[in-house]
């Protein structure tokens, strides 16, 4: 298919983008540049997407606004400077029509779960593959903390405070699954699955530490809240799939009524009311 002067092969990513527009009734023909003016005027919230660069694990920051500050390393002295944590998409491809990127393509890059969707290949030398943002920052806490760090002085002077709201597809504190499988295949599956789950949970611990640091910058004016998907029955959560059964859909919707999420909703309403006052 053709997109302006460029020609691409159709694949699962192409199908995903078209079905996304079809199912949601949004984003049709929208480019990254279409959101620049509304965001700058405050008519739309600023959106920052941060897919992971597969070759080195850095984040690729995609936004309609300039966000080079999210990539800025910290120079301690002449002998030590931290590595840049990411790359700004619009600056990297400034001479190659970065602003004309389809917004659905930006969303797809952010959601390219390995094996489910094909890696997105960027026209660089050497070639860069981009994959799911969750590999580096599953809930956006690192990008949000970096943003708050750079604007902390302005936030203290011009706002009533900050609420960081996470919407999780998993529980914050997941129960430990039984490890009673004794077959070789069962042990192998348990080892691989346990390794993946341990990695995901270790990111939660790292994110919690980051939130403590942000609280030290902004003080009591900073609040963190989360909505989390908690299945009705333990170990019967909705599958990681583009097709959900009726039971899985109902289970996800019903999760908002869990006591944990109702407490979050109550506190969020209180904070928003305080901010208006």
Tens-place pLDDT, residues 100-143: 999 999 999 999 988 889 999 998 988 889 999 988 888 899 99
* Helices marked H in the chain: 12-24, 36-40, 89-92, 103-110, 134-137, 141-150, 152-158, 184-218, 246-254, 259-276
Q: Could you tell me how many helices (H) and strands (E) the chain has, helices first?
A: 10, 12
pLDDT, position 104: 96
Alpha carbons 226 and 204: distance in angstroms, whole number: 12
Residue 265 has pLDDT above 70, yes or no: yes
The closest alpha carbon to 251, from 271, 268, 221, 229, belongs to: 229
- Measured CA to CA, the distance from residue 249 to residue 40 in angstroms comes to 36
Mean pLDDT, residues 205-212 taken together:
91
- Please, which pLDDT band fits residue 235 given cuts at 50, 70 and 90? confident
Determine how many CB atoms are found less than 10 A away from the CB of residue 185. 8
> Does residue 170 surpass a pLDDT of 70?
yes
Q: Three-class SS of residue 239? A: coil
pTM of the model: 0.87
Cβ contact 163:225 at 8 Å: yes
pLDDT in tens, 17-28: 999 999 999 999
């Amino acid at each position: 298919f053709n997109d302006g002067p460029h020609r691409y092969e159709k694949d699962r990513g192409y199908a995903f983008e078209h079905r996304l527009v079809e199912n949601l009734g949004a984003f049709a023909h929208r480019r990254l540049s279409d959101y620049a003016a509304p965001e700058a005027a405050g008519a739309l919230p600023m959106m920052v997407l941060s897919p992971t660069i597969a070759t080195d694990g850095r984040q690729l920051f995609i936004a309609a606004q300039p966000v080079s500050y999210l990539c800025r390393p910290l120079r301690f002295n002449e002998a030590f400077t931290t590595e840049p944590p990411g790359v700004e998409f619009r600056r990297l491809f400034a001479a190659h029509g970065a602003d004309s990127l389809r917004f659905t393509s930006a969303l797809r890059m952010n959601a390219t779960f390995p094996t489910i969707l094909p890696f997105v290949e960027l026209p660089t030398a050497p070639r860069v593959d981009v994959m799911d943002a969750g590999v580096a920052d599953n809930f956006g806490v690192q990008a949000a903390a970096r943003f708050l760090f750079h604007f902390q002085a302005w936030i203290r002077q011009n706002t009533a405070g900050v609420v960081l709201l996470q919407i999780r597809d998993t529980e914050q504190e997941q129960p430990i699954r039984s490890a009673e499988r004794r077959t070789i295949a069962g042990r192998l599956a348990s080892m691989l699955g346990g390794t993946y789950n341990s990695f995901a949970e270790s990111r939660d611990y790292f994110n919690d530490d980051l939130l403590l640091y942000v609280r030290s910058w902004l003080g009591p004016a900073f609040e963190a809240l989360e909505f989390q998907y908690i299945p009705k029955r333990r170990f019967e959560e909705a599958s990681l799939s583009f097709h959900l059964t009726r039971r899985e859909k109902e289970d996800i919707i019903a999760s908002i009524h869990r006591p944990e999420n109702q407490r979050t909703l109550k506190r969020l309403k209180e904070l928003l009311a305080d901010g208006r006052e």
